[in-house]
Chain A
Amino acid sequence: MVDAVSQPVRRPGALKRVLERFPFLPVLIIFVALLALNGLYQPRSVSLVGLTGLVKTYLALVLLAVAQTYVVYAGDIDLSAGAIVSLVNVVIVSVMAYLGDGTFSVLGAMVIGLLVGLACGIVNGVVVAVFRLQAIVATFATSIFFTGVALYVMPVAGTPAPATFWRTYGGRILEIPFVFWLAIVLAAILYMLARTRLAMQLLAVGDDAQGAYQSGLPVTAIRMRGYAMCGLFAALAAFCVTGDTASGDPLVGGAMTLNSVAAVVLGGTALAGGFGTVVGSVFGALSIGLISSVVYFIGVPSEWQNLARGAAILLALMAGVLVGRRMRS
């Protein structure tokens, strides 16, 4: 019964409290700043058409960042997320090519796509949570495996997706672009998912897996569900990729994996797990998209674009992390 060293009470400041509630605030500021920058160099880019294009192109990355967030919540990572996108992309394009153009064909392909994504997620979950392999290495290995399957399904890129699919994705309903409807539905789904038991359990596991186990939480099952969610959202991302590119490509998702991780970190989610928001990941992904377009609009010569984009992402990460740290302390 001793308080050997009495520590000063840490009274969280108002700003810290706000940030604790809304950890995605820094990335929101970055997002708005990037949007303003875009508007400055190319006023048309912040018009309805410009924004539709942005959402149309980057909704896939947004969904993949959301997918990644659920595994990162629990302190895991999924380096196969992009490969799942590729696999689902070639699978649905192949199925639709087989069944022909039509609503039934498209819906059937999407159901199959979701099942493929779920299966990939479960494979990852089994490897990481049940067999206890290091997430970073194990999912890297499964990513090669999934890519291999994708290449088997469709050895060369270029099979076109049926017109129904990409016309709907790029079209309008009630004069409002279809992708905006998708964004609204996504927001509603994310709002509900944040209130499920799984979200809190994933965060608790990420905070202290041993503690969660000792509290009686089914840690293995929770981590598996995180990977399953990741697979499902990766499949949704694949639908958007297919809608955007209108074709199958067995390597289309590869480059998206690390972008999704960067988006998660930019969104203020801790890679160590236990802390973060999907909203942050959404704006993180959109910010990465805006960086690409701003680099383009500023008129950076094409050979310098990668360098400029890399530097800008680095800057955004630093700004996000530093601002977050400042505001928290």
Chain B
Amino acid sequence: MSKLKISGVTKVYGATAALSHGDLEVDAGEVHVLIGSNGSGKSTLCKIVAGSVKPDSGTVVLDGKEVVIPGPQGAKALGIGIFYQELSLAGHRTVEENICLPDLPMRGPFVDRTALSERAARYIALFDGVTGDGFAPDVTVDALRPDQRQLVEIMKALATEASVLIFDEPTSALDRAQAERFFDILRRLKGDGRAMIFISHRMDEIFAIGDRVTVLRDGRTIGTMRIDETEPQAVVRMMVGDEPALAAEAAPTPIVDATAKTTDVALSVRGFSGQGFSNVDFEARKGEILGFGGLHGQGQSAVLRALFGALPVSAGNVELSGNAHAPSSPRAAIRAGLAYVSGDRGRDGVIQGRPILENVTPIHYLRDRLFLARPSALREKAKPAMDALNTRFAGFSHPIGSLSGGNQQKIVIARWLIDRPGVLLLDDPTKGIDLSAKADLFSLIRRLASEGLAILLYSSEDAELLSNADRILVFNGGSVTRELTGETRTRFNLYEAAYEAV
């Protein structure tokens, strides 16, 4: 009998199904690996087990009994502990307080500080020697490095002493020694008969520690295999599915001829480093769509934001059409002819509650140093940019909120087109946009490229990258680990590069 059996679990957020059919069976005394590409539903599945997300349908069976997990507190009572990918630590509390926070030891009405320190010390001792400088039980968590915080979250999960333990990407910030120590602990827990669910994007880790692997794709459980009966290639193939081997076949042939591309370099980046990425080199030519691929958060967005001056840069040279450019602020970047469009329209794009006209023209104000402008004159200027996007809208004076997400994003792009930029940075631009609007957006992006714009495109949807980018740089751990061009732009290669160890 399996320790934990999840069948037919679904979860829908608005119009998107985070999980359309999740199945999972975990035995006591095994490490069960969950793998799948971005947005395949792994984290949602884990959060359902941990009680922090309520499923829309499906059943969870624990120790042969069907259970309803009412919330994280209830999950704790059922013996389910979890390591959250985004961590669940209180920054101003100390390491030991955080470890014991879910279940504080009490003496009468007071917190038993001695028992708390002793209990925390047991779990801290597990990582003795690999915790690094500045780590101590009485240090507040916000003074720790990312890898040390991740260790605290691991200790906190272990301290629940739960019989089902879930680890959602626990090793993403750990160094080799810390991860090895963690695996030793997992092996010991396995011997104790605990059931463990482990999410990782590193094939080497999965094959080092896993007993079985379950693959998810597009919110569905595809299948489960024994680790010792399979190989990395087979797992990747399962993640990819039965799509055409060459997804790039779907892409239109690049419109600009090869010679034009090789001569005119629009953007050249050398040794570019900052928080979350290091030593990134690439060149983008005029008329080219350069794709940034790989797993979420491997530095793609950070590079784009840093180029635009929105994140600090620690080292590197940037040249725009041969002229040195120091990315200091978005203002300077805009003046230098960079354009940045983010998928997070609410934060970076749309000016909520204001008319469409005001949403189209802010960059024009900045680039032309306008102080006063007649709305009618602005409308004249905005019109061609809007026409080019074939955006349907009732009038410039209507509020931006009256448009759909896709059309709002077009307005945001249109604001950059009044004064032509040289390089367009697209940071996951189609997030939360419906399919037809996506198609429109990409035909626009391709047309802009054919008109000579250099475009950097990061997309969390691999299909978008494969069918639109001329070249794909695969990011892994903050640097570019592989470049896919021409025939090599396949989903298989993309996944293989994204999931390999660095």
Q: Does A1 contact B (CB under 8 A)?
A: yes
Which residues on B are within 8 Å of A, measured CB to CB?
Answer: 50, 52, 71-73, 75-76, 82, 84, 87-93, 97, 101-104, 106, 109-111, 113, 132-134, 139-140, 143, 145-147, 156, 171-176, 179, 202, 205, 273-278, 299, 314, 477-479, 501-502
In the bound complex, residues from chain B placing their C-beta under 8 Å from that of A204 are 90, 93, 101
Q: Does A302 contact B (CB under 8 A)?
A: no
- Contact between B92 and A195, CB atoms less than 8 A apart: no
- The complex places the Cα of A192 from the Cα of B299 at a distance, in Å, of 48
- Contact between B90 and A216, CB atoms less than 8 A apart: no
- The complex places the Cα of A195 from the Cα of B479 at a distance, in Å, of 47
Which residues on A are within 8 Å of B, measured CB to CB?
Answer: 1-5, 7, 9-12, 20, 192, 195-197, 200-201, 203-204, 207-208, 210-218, 274-275
- Contact between B93 and A196, CB atoms less than 8 A apart: no
- Contact between B104 and A200, CB atoms less than 8 A apart: yes
- The complex places the Cα of A197 from the Cα of B111 at a distance, in Å, of 6
- Contact between A2 and B478, CB atoms less than 8 A apart: yes
- Contact between A200 and B97, CB atoms less than 8 A apart: yes
Which listed residue (A10, A197, A211) contacts B106, Cβ 8 A? A197
Residue among A195, A201, A203, A215 having the largest count of chain B Cβ atoms under 10 Å: A215
In the bound complex, residues from chain B placing their C-beta under 8 Å from that of A215 are 72, 88, 101-102, 156
- Contact between A1 and B275, CB atoms less than 8 A apart: no
Which listed residue (B89, B139, B502) contacts A2, Cβ 8 A? B502
- The complex places the Cα of A1 from the Cα of B73 at a distance, in Å, of 31
- The complex places the Cα of A1 from the Cα of B200 at a distance, in Å, of 9
CB-CB nearest 7 A-B residue pairs: A4-B478, A2-B477, A207-B90, A211-B88, A216-B76, A204-B90, A195-B110
- The complex places the Cα of A82 from the Cα of B102 at a distance, in Å, of 34
In the bound complex, residues from chain B placing their C-beta under 8 Å from that of A5 are 273-278, 314, 478
- Contact between A1 and B176, CB atoms less than 8 A apart: yes
Residue among A1, A196, A275 having the largest count of chain B Cβ atoms under 10 Å: A1
In angstroms, how far is the closest chain B Cβ from the Cβ of A146?
A: 29
- Contact between A208 and B502, CB atoms less than 8 A apart: no
Q: Closest residue of chain B to A21, judged by CB?
A: B138
- The complex places the Cα of A210 from the Cα of B146 at a distance, in Å, of 19
Which listed residue (A7, A197, A200) contacts B145, Cβ 8 A? A7
In the bound complex, residues from chain B placing their C-beta under 8 Å from that of A217 are 73, 101-102
In angstroms, how far is the closest chain B Cβ from the Cβ of A208?
A: 6
Residue among A7, A10, A192 having the largest count of chain B Cβ atoms under 10 Å: A10
- The complex places the Cα of A274 from the Cα of B171 at a distance, in Å, of 27
- The complex places the Cα of A210 from the Cα of B76 at a distance, in Å, of 16
- Contact between A216 and B73, CB atoms less than 8 A apart: yes
- The complex places the Cα of A208 from the Cα of B73 at a distance, in Å, of 16
Question: Contacts A274-B90, A274-B91: A4 and B278 contacting too (C-beta < 8 A)?
Answer: yes
- Contact between A213 and B52, CB atoms less than 8 A apart: yes
In the bound complex, residues from chain B placing their C-beta under 8 Å from that of A213 are 52, 71-72
In angstroms, how far is the closest chain B Cβ from the Cβ of A289?
A: 28
In the bound complex, residues from chain A placing their C-beta under 8 Å from that of B72 are 213-216
- Contact between B52 and A214, CB atoms less than 8 A apart: yes
Question: Contacts A4-B277, A12-B143: A196 and B50 contacting too (C-beta < 8 A)?
Answer: no
In angstroms, how far is the closest chain A Cβ from the Cβ of B84?
A: 6
In the bound complex, residues from chain A placing their C-beta under 8 Å from that of B205 are 1
In the bound complex, residues from chain A placing their C-beta under 8 Å from that of B299 are 4
Question: Contacts A200-B97, A216-B72: A4 and B276 contacting too (C-beta < 8 A)?
Answer: yes
Which listed residue (B103, B104, B175) contacts A1, Cβ 8 A? B175
In the bound complex, residues from chain B placing their C-beta under 8 Å from that of A1 are 171-172, 174-176, 179, 202, 205, 501-502
- The complex places the Cα of A201 from the Cα of B97 at a distance, in Å, of 10
Q: Closest residue of chain B to A8, judged by CB?
A: B145
- The complex places the Cα of A149 from the Cα of B76 at a distance, in Å, of 43
- The complex places the Cα of A133 from the Cα of B111 at a distance, in Å, of 31
In the bound complex, residues from chain B placing their C-beta under 8 Å from that of A218 are 73
- The complex places the Cα of A5 from the Cα of B315 at a distance, in Å, of 12
- Contact between A200 and B93, CB atoms less than 8 A apart: yes
Question: Contacts A2-B502, A3-B175, A9-B132: A212 and B90 contacting too (C-beta < 8 A)?
Answer: yes
Q: Closest residue of chain A to B52, judged by CB?
A: A214
Q: Closest residue of chain A to B133, judged by CB?
A: A9
Q: Closest residue of chain B to A221, judged by CB?
A: B73
- Contact between B179 and A197, CB atoms less than 8 A apart: no
- The complex places the Cα of A210 from the Cα of B273 at a distance, in Å, of 32
- Contact between A211 and B89, CB atoms less than 8 A apart: yes
In angstroms, how far is the closest chain B Cβ from the Cβ of A205?
A: 8
- The complex places the Cα of A116 from the Cα of B169 at a distance, in Å, of 49
In the bound complex, residues from chain B placing their C-beta under 8 Å from that of A210 are 88
In angstroms, how far is the closest chain A Cβ from the Cβ of B159?
A: 11
In the bound complex, residues from chain B placing their C-beta under 8 Å from that of A208 are 88-91
- Contact between B104 and A214, CB atoms less than 8 A apart: no
- Contact between A203 and B93, CB atoms less than 8 A apart: yes
In angstroms, how far is the closest chain A Cβ from the Cβ of B68?
A: 16
- The complex places the Cα of A207 from the Cα of B92 at a distance, in Å, of 7
- The complex places the Cα of A5 from the Cα of B311 at a distance, in Å, of 14
- The complex places the Cα of A50 from the Cα of B73 at a distance, in Å, of 52
- The complex places the Cα of A214 from the Cα of B110 at a distance, in Å, of 24
In the bound complex, residues from chain B placing their C-beta under 8 Å from that of A3 are 147, 173-175
Which listed residue (A9, A10, A197) contacts B104, Cβ 8 A? A197
- The complex places the Cα of A192 from the Cα of B50 at a distance, in Å, of 34
In the bound complex, residues from chain B placing their C-beta under 8 Å from that of A197 are 104, 106, 110-111
In angstroms, how far is the closest chain A Cβ from the Cβ of B377?
A: 41
- Contact between B479 and A4, CB atoms less than 8 A apart: yes
- The complex places the Cα of A25 from the Cα of B141 at a distance, in Å, of 22
- The complex places the Cα of A12 from the Cα of B141 at a distance, in Å, of 12
- Contact between B111 and A196, CB atoms less than 8 A apart: yes
In angstroms, how far is the closest chain B Cβ from the Cβ of A244?
A: 31
In the bound complex, residues from chain B placing their C-beta under 8 Å from that of A212 are 88, 90, 101
13 A-B pairs in the complex with CB atoms less than 8 angstroms apart? A1-B179, A2-B477, A3-B174, A4-B299, A7-B275, A9-B133, A12-B134, A196-B111, A200-B97, A203-B90, A216-B75, A217-B101, A275-B92
In the bound complex, residues from chain B placing their C-beta under 8 Å from that of A216 are 71-73, 75-76, 102-103
- The complex places the Cα of A20 from the Cα of B94 at a distance, in Å, of 11
In the bound complex, residues from chain A placing their C-beta under 8 Å from that of B175 are 1, 3
In angstroms, how far is the closest chain B Cβ from the Cβ of A269?
A: 11
Question: Contacts A5-B478, A197-B106, A197-B111: A211 and B87 contacting too (C-beta < 8 A)?
Answer: yes
- The complex places the Cα of A212 from the Cα of B143 at a distance, in Å, of 19
